[in-house]
Amino acid sequence: MKKIKFAKVKEFFKGKGFIGALCLSVAAIGIATYVAYDQTLRDITSQPSFTPTTEQQVANDVSGVPKEEETSAPAESADAPVSTEEPDSSIDSQPDEDEKANNFVSGEPERMMPVQGEILNPYSGGELVKSETLGVWKTHDGIDIACEEGTDIRAAAAGKVIQIRDDPLWGVCAVIDHYDGYQGYYFGLDKALEIKEQQEVDAGDIIGKTAPFDCEAKLPPHLHFGVKLSEKWIDPAEFIGEE
């Protein structure tokens, strides 16, 4: 019986059946090898990219290449509330103390009466009035301010003394240019003045003292004060601002 089976097997290996089985085995091995190789390639390509280890990062820092600083601002959370309040404009609109100190507000120059006293005769405004001393009708181009002889007379405003003269009727007269076209005329001063021509004065500076003069000798002691604007007489009260 065993001899019969061995003969069949021997015949099988000698025949076409053995060759066919051998081919199938080779093909199967080839397919299995290809599948295994392909799977290996897929596993390799699917691995994450190489990231340097901590030791490698330290080595890079020591290599002398400066590390770049992160300049990007942290991303805001999408859930963070968005502020809709407008900035307080009052904060920006308030100048600091230095700006306030440098922002000078230009005001009117200081002006004052040259002496305090009763107005004996006002400005006539171009109308003729009778002079008690001279007995004639004439315009009264200033104001007469009552004051005792020897009373200090002050500059009505800042300016420059442009003329000092001794008039036979009006006595010693000082003319001060008060700028902006204004000129002050101070009649009836004592010869011993506190000022001289071309001298600068401030409002309130003493320029001299009162003394009697012939033109208005019948009036009580006083200062005759007149003001011109662009060479025309105006009311001194208008210049002082006491209308």
Predicted local confidence at residue 103, as pLDDT? 42
Predicted local confidence at residue 108, as pLDDT? 64
* Domain range summary for the chain, segments of one domain joined by +: 2-45, 119-240
What is the per-residue pLDDT across 14-31, written as a single tens digit (0 to 9) for each?
555 556 666 566 666 767
Predicted local confidence at residue 75, as pLDDT? 46
Amino acid at site 115:
V
**pTM of the model as a whole:** 0.57
Predicted local confidence at residue 57, as pLDDT? 46
Cα dihedral 142, 147, 152, 153, rounded to 10, equals -10
Residue 123 CB burial class (10 angstroms; 0-12, 13-18, ≥19): buried
What is the per-residue pLDDT across 108-118, written as a single tens digit (0 to 9) for each?
679 999 999 99
The C-alpha angle with vertex 148 and arms to 147 and 152, in degrees rounded to 5, equals 75
Helices (H) and strands (E) in the chain, counts: 6, 12
Residue 236, C-beta contacts closer than 8 angstroms, at least 6 positions apart = 123, 142, 143, 156, 225, 226, 227
Six-digit token string for 13: 């290996």
Predicted local confidence at residue 28, as pLDDT? 65
Question: Sign of torsion, CA 221 187 150 114?
Answer: positive
CATH number of 119-240: 2.70.70.10
By three-state DSSP, how is residue 229 classified?
strand
Taking alpha carbons only, the member of 158, 210, 156 closest to residue 187 is 210
Which residues of the chain are under the pLDDT cut of 70?
1-28, 30, 32-108, 243
Predicted local confidence at residue 29, as pLDDT? 74
Predicted local confidence at residue 109, as pLDDT? 75
